[in-house]
């Protein structure tokens, strides 16, 4: 894929900068390698092209054959966007509206979407490729690879737990670790554990269900159950971690906003030799009694510790239905409005 020199939109000659560096008259041309890629790039009935046009209302996009010409203040950025989308298509991935929106966000942040979307974390069940979908998710997966302890803080739907479990499965399959330990606090959120039927594990099992769901999705139920039965994967409430030293393990603490400061310290001091730890949480959903969350303020305490990194995800990293990101934005705006009042 090549991009021509910028030329004046009216005359076709190289454009000149205005005295203040304004690029309002810039023009770019992008050649798409073949007709099949062009059809996928534009989408059914040009719906993906319409989405790009809506996102860059001050620019004019003209398509002729395999050539895309852009005139406007963000012509150069749009050219990079089309180049990156073609690289994603050439990797064998498809495009949809959600992926194009995320690609636009990444280009605006001067991130190369092809490097994010083409980075495979795990080849999951039935050959499905697990990849980061946003720049924030790519920073998160990179941080897990580079550090002993990684904290991921962000709203629901940002893939915090799912990507951590995927990387844990990858580490187990490549024998980097001997076992996976998945844990989360069993905190009552308006319901009483005592009223649930069964023994202790039966009572806390609903709290651990999201971790099982991720395992079953990545490994298929039969494969996950075999690893659970062999003890290669352990899913347990946080209280079961006390007094243990966890060597050669990939340990994930989910819903960490519902730990107390004492529980958080207890958990972090369980980490043994050859282990990697990921802690995930959403500080806007604290259910722990008294609001004393072991995750809040922890970055001030541990931020300078070597081998430890905090990654903050936002609604831009939400990879569920678009309405989830819209709901998160609405809550954020309401909270900020309340602060102003």
CATH number at residue 222: 3.40.50.300
pLDDT tens for the chain, 341 residues long, are 444 333 433 333 334 344 454 445 688 999 999 889 999 999 999 999 999 999 999 999 999 999 999 999 999 999 999 999 999 999 888 999 989 999 999 999 888 998 998 888 887 767 778 889 999 999 999 999 999 999 999 998 899 999 999 999 999 999 999 999 999 887 644 444 444 445 455 555 666 788 888 888 888 889 999 999 999 999 888 988 998 999 999 999 999 999 999 999 999 999 999 999 999 999 989 988 788 899 999 999 999 999 999 999 998 888 766 677 678 778 877 877 755 54
Side-chain-side CA neighbours of 301 within 13 Å: the count stands at 10
What contacts 82, CB < 8 A, 6 or more positions away?
1, 30, 32, 41, 68
Structure tokens at 228: 């659970």
Among 73, 89, 117, give the residue marking a domain's end. Answer: 117
Q: How many domains does the chain have?
A: 2
Residues 24 and 136 in one domain: no
Closest CA to 214 of 171, 177, 252: 252
Residues 16 and 53 in one domain: yes
Tell me how many helices (H) and strands (E) the chain has. Answer: 11, 12
Residues 15 and 81 in one domain: yes
Residues 83 and 214 in one domain: no
Residues 210 and 195 in one domain: yes
What confidence score (pLDDT) does residue 13 get?
A: 35
Residues 199 and 92 in one domain: no
Residues 327 and 187 in one domain: yes
What confidence score (pLDDT) does residue 24 get?
A: 52
Among 98, 117, 136, give the residue marking a domain's end. Answer: 117
Residues 111 and 182 in one domain: no
What confidence score (pLDDT) does residue 291 get?
A: 82
Residues 252 and 214 in one domain: yes
Residues 177 and 309 in one domain: yes
Note whether 260 and 234 are within 8 A (CB): no
Among 97, 117, 137, give the residue marking a domain's end. Answer: 117
Query: Where residue 107 sits, what CATH number does that domain have?
Result: 3.30.1370.10
What confidence score (pLDDT) does residue 103 get?
A: 93
Q: Which domain holds residue 224?
A: 122-340
Cα separation, 71 vs 78, in Å, equals 10
Closest CA to 32 of 102, 104, 81, 77: 81
What is the helix, strand, coil percentage profile of the chain, to 5? Answer: 45, 15, 35
pTM of the model: 0.78
Residues 128 and 103 in one domain: no
Strand 27-31 and strand 60-64: pairing? unpaired
Residues 196 and 153 in one domain: yes
């Amino acid at each position: 894929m090549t991009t021509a020199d910028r030329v004046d939109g009216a005359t076709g000659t190289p454009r000149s900068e205005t005295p203040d560096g304004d690029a309002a008259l810039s023009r770019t041309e992008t050649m798409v390698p073949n007709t099949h890629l062009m059809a996928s790039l534009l989408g059914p009935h040009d719906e993906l092209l319409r989405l790009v046009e809506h996102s860059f209302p001050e620019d004019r996009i003209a398509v002729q054959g395999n050539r895309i010409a852009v005139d406007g203040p963000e012509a150069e950025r749009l050219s990079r966007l089309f180049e990156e989308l073609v690289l994603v298509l050439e990797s064998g991935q498809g495009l949809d509206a959600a992926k194009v929106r995320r690609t636009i966000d990444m280009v605006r942040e001067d991130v190369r979407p092809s490097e994010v979307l083409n980075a495979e974390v795990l080849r999951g069940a039935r050959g499905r490729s697990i990849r980061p979908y946003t720049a924030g998710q790519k920073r998160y997966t990179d941080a897990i690879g580079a550090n002993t302890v990684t904290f991921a803080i962000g709203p629901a739907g940002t893939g915090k737990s799912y990507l951590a479990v995927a990387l844990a499965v990858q580490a187990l399959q490549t024998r980097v670790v001997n076992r996976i330990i998945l844990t989360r606090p069993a905190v009552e959120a308006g319901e009483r554990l005592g009223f649930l039927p069964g023994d202790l594990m039966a009572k806390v099992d609903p709290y651990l269900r999201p971790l099982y769901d991720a395992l079953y999705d990545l490994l298929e139920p039969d494969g996950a159950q075999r690893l659970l039965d062999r003890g290669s994967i352990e899913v347990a409430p946080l209280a079961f971690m006390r007094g243990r030293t966890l060597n050669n393990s990939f340990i994930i603490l989910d819903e960490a906003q519902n730990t107390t400061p004492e529980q958080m310290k207890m958990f972090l001091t369980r980490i043994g030799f050859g282990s990697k730890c990921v802690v995930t949480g959403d500080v806007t959903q604290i259910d722990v009694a008294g609001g004393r969350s072991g995750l809040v303020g922890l970055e001030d305490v541990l931020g300078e510790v070597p081998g430890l990194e905090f990654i903050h995800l936002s609604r831009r990293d939400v990879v569920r239905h678009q309405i989830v990101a819209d709901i998160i934005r609405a809550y954020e705006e309401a909270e900020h409005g309340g602060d102003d009042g």
